[in-house]
Amino acid sequence: SAVISQKPSRDICQRGTSLTIQCQVDSQVTMMFWYRQQPGQSLTLIATANQGSEATYESGFVIDKFPISRPNLTFSTLTVSNMSPEDSSIYLCSVRGQGPYGYTFGSGTRLTVV
């Protein structure tokens, strides 16, 4: 299964600023998924990122707030813009594997906005 390197692992940011999260995959993948996970909650899909096209955002998430870059088949970034304390959460990237390998996750970014 694919291995994903996600950076940063954690950050504390001032409100009103932006943070860019990076995910590097060790193999080429068509689709990458970005999730948010609030404490004690399940995963909420933010958007699906395909190489060479605009990301597809889920209800409640907009491109101006969460712009996504997908310049090639092994890399993607998610930016959390104009942050507020409500954006404090864990952000995860994920890729779809082949057959029984399911979906693999990056190690996550724990974001705290103060």
Partner 1 sequence: QKEVEQNSGPLSVPEGAIASLNCTYSDRGSQSFFWYRQYSGKSPELIMSIYSNGDKEDGRFTAQLNKASQYVSLLIRDSQPSDSATYLCAVPMDSNYQLIWGAGTKLIIKP
List residues binding partner 1 (CB under 8 A): 1, 31, 33, 41-43, 45, 48, 56, 92, 96, 100-108, 110
Rounded to a whole number of angstroms, the minimum distance from the CB of residue 107 to partner 1 is 5
Sign of the four-CA dihedral 106, 100, 52, 75: positive
Rounded to a whole number of angstroms, the minimum distance from the CB of residue 105 to partner 1 is 4
> For residues 43 and 69, what is the distance between their CA atoms, to the nearest angstrom?
21
> For residues 82 and 14, what is the distance between their CA atoms, to the nearest angstrom?
9
**Do 66 and 19 meet the contact criterion of CB atoms below 8 Å apart?**
no
Which is closer to partner 1, CB of 77 or CB of 94?
Answer: 94
Which is closer to partner 1, CB of 60 or CB of 100?
Answer: 100
Cis peptide preceding 8, ω within 30 of 0: yes
Rounded to a whole number of angstroms, the minimum distance from the CB of residue 96 to partner 1 is 5
**Do 81 and 31 meet the contact criterion of CB atoms below 8 Å apart?**
no
Rounded to a whole number of angstroms, the minimum distance from the CB of residue 82 to partner 1 is 26
- Which residue type does 29 have? V
Which is closer to partner 1, CB of 65 or CB of 96?
Answer: 96
Which is closer to partner 1, CB of 44 or CB of 81?
Answer: 44
